[in-house]
Structure formats: C-alpha cells, structure tokens
Amino acid sequence: MQATLPATTAKVPCTIVTGFLGAGKTTLVRRILEGGHGRRIAVIVNEFGDVGFDGSFLSGCGIAGCPEEAVVELPNGCLCCTVADDFVPALDRLLAIEPAPDHIVIETSGLALPKPLVSAFNWPQIRSRVTVDGVVAVVDGPAVAEGRFADDPAALAAQRAADETLDHDNPLEEVFEDQILCADLIVLNKTDLMTSAEIEAVSAQIASELPRAVKIVPAANGAIDARVLIGLGAAAENDLAARPSHHDDIGEHDHDDFESAIFPVADVDSPEEIARRVAAAGAVDGVLRIKGFLALPDKPMRLVVQAVGSRVGHHFDRAWKPGEERAGRLVVIGLKGFDRDAVAGALAG
C-alpha cells in the first residue's frame, strides 16, 4: 500500500516550480496532479505571453481528482509584480474551493525570478494563510550540458575582475542562476537525452554553484514521485537570506530583456511539415521558445506544438471542442528585438 503524506498544517503549503523556458515545468506539474500522494492539489500557472498554453494544457487535463476550477491561469505578467492584482485574488479563489486544496503548486513563467515571489509570501494577506513548502527548480539537462546557461562562475568572476569596463552580464544566465540559487530541490530533467557522463558532469557543475546543500534529482519527463517534491517543509519565506540573487540590490526587476509575440498559423497539411517550419523559426537568432496549438484540415484533433530552440515536439492532445475557434496560434518568446519577420517567414514555409 502506498504511504500518504502527513496531514496538512494550518497554513496551506505551496510548492513553487521554477525553471528556464521549456525545461519541463508543465510536464512536472502534470505528474504532481496525477497523484499517488493522497493530496488535493490546486495549481496557479503564470505565463510569459498570453496564449494560455500551459493553463489550457493543465486544466481539463482529464486527470481524475483535478477539477477545472483547481487550475488558475495568470497570463502575461510576473506574479511577484502583480501580487495585489493577480496573485492574492488567485489564492482567494483556490482557498475558497470546497473541499479546500491541501496543497497549491505554482508554476512560474520560465523567465521569472523566483525570489521576489517567495518574498511576496511575507505579505500580511498571504503570510497568514499559506507558506512556501519548497522551491523546485527544473533544469533542462541537455541545454546545460551544451553550456547554454551555466558558464563557470569562477572563470566569469575572474574575467569581470580582469576588465571592469566589460559588461559580462548575460540576463539569460542570471535568470537561470537565480532560479537554481533559490531552490530547495533541483530536478535535472530530460535525462533521456543525456549520457550518464553528462548527467554526472551537469550535476557536479550545478552543485558547485549552489550556496547550500540542495538535492539534485535526475528525471525524464518529470517522472519523480510527487511525495519527493511536495512536503519539503522549507518555509522558504523565512529563509530569504540563504537564497542569493543577482537582483538583491535592485529591489525590483523588469522583463525588458525578453518579449513574446503571437503568430497565427494557417492550417497545415501534416505535423511533419509544421515541425519543419517550427524548427526553422526556432533557429532564428534570439528565439528561445515556441509553443501553441494548430489545426489540420479534416482532423478533429488539436495538434500541440512545442519547441525549445530548434528541438521540436508535437502530438495531438484532444478534439477541438464544439464552438471553439479552430485557429492555429503559436506564441514565440525570445530576446527583445528578435526578428519577427524571419519567424513569420519560417512559419509560412
């Protein structure tokens, strides 16, 4: 028989799932919803861009025990910047569900800095009712193995010291580092695409950057027993000093380094054809992430398309609902100023 988690405390515990664009956060949240832990879970999804992709992918997911109202989507914003307007009302809605959720999972945008959100748990309207059970950072293992977001910090420091006139700050790298520095548990995801030597090397590299002992758990498709992820009991909001951030001195932050745009896509003949076009769009300079839903002529099913860089995945997820607009739309997230014409051209074939 499966052991269930211990009974809840008075404050509802919240797990913050952070991780760079496309690392596998939504996949991991779906795993948590699939259960095996004996808890009623509610979810808040925050997205960069407003296509509503992740919320749509989670709500009505067909998982038993996951009612549609238990997933609240907060598109087009940063949770910690919109605490009063968005986050508090979202918590109100979820905490009012009968029976009340035992646990709330918050999936942050892949460009979000987690620490300001953890700090928001000290707001009086929030602090009395919820606590941060733990910050789980999902890492795209193959991306890090390719050296995309984790330069050697010692080498970087030496470089900066050697030439102060150079601006070595790479916002992408800072976002990635802020996410792992805030974590109570790190999921090294997509290990199915890595050799065991790469898994070992990336784990060692991340461990060397962490300010404190944090477990790094390898996973493929977020397949980790939910009882490992929830119930960490970190009360992270009381522990902010242990979570250094590149943005500690600034007090506030913005998202000017990134932007998103929605591209309508006409019906395509085959998933293979759209995968080819999306891969070309993903290869455009500065493009980080592409995702959305597409329609195929004569097909009742909706095609989910996802790309992380130029690695593209697609599958049919469900039938288009009666009355639902059968329109293909892809959200593209990239560095500010990415070439929208080049992306539109690639998507048009």
* 77 part of the interface to ligand GTP, by CB under 6 A: no
Which residue's Cβ lies closest to ligand GTP?
A: 110
CA distance 16 to 40: 16
Sheet strands side by side (includes 12-19)? 71-74, 41-46, 103-107, 12-19, 130-140, 185-189, 215-218
* 24 part of the interface to ligand GTP, by CB under 6 A: yes
Q: Which of 31, 190, 243, 277 binds ligand GTP (CB under 6 A)?
A: 190
CA distance 229 to 52: 25
Alpha-carbon Rg for the chain, nearest whole angstrom, is 20
Closest separation between CB of residue 312 and ligand GTP, Å?
8
* 50 part of the interface to ligand GTP, by CB under 6 A: no
Query: Of 241-280, which residues contact ligand GTP (CB under 6 A)?
Result: none
What DSSP string describes 94-145? HHTSSSPPSEEEEE--TT--HHHHHHHTTSHHHHTTEEEEEEEEEEEHHHHH
Over the window 105 to 134, marking each residue x when it contacts ligand GTP by CB under 6 A and - when it does not, the resulting string is -----x------------------------
Task: Name residues whose C-beta falls within 8 Å of residue 1's C-beta, 6 or more positions apart in sequence.
Answer: none
CA distance 161 to 158: 5
The residue behind tokens 């591209």 is: 263
Query: Please, which residue, 126 or 149, has the CB nearer to ligand GTP?
Result: 149
* 220 part of the interface to ligand GTP, by CB under 6 A: yes
Query: Please, which residue, 54 or 178, has the CB nearer to ligand GTP?
Result: 54
Over the window 280 to 299, marking each residue x when it contacts ligand GTP by CB under 6 A and - when it does not, the resulting string is ---------x-x--------
Under rule CB under 6 A, how many of the chain's residues touch ligand GTP? 22
Give the binding site for ligand GTP (CB under 6 A): 19, 21-27, 54, 110, 189-190, 192-193, 220-222, 289, 291, 306, 308, 313
